[in-house]
Amino acid sequence: MQTLDEMLSLNLLTTDQHHEIGAWVRQARTPDRILQMPPHLWAVLEQASLLMDFEGVGAPH
């Protein structure tokens, strides 16, 4: 959840996307269930992850 919060604070996710993804992860309870997240949420999460890596967010200094 910390990474989702960081994505939100960097404006890589909207408040609604943050809420939807967080709610899915909390209710999923297993890695297999998390992998069943709707494709539109996966796409947003993947794009935000790529942007975080591109910008060096969280990278060791």
Each of the 61 residues of the chain gets a pLDDT tens digit; together they read 689 999 999 999 999 999 999 999 999 989 999 999 999 999 999 999 999 887 655 555 4
- What residues does each domain of the chain span? 2-54
Per DSSP, helices labelled H in the chain are 2-9, 15-28, 31-34, 39-54
Who contacts 12 (Cβ-Cβ below 8 Å, separation ≥6)? 47, 48, 51, 52
Residue 17: which of 8, 6, 26 has the closest Cα?
8
pTM of the model: 0.80
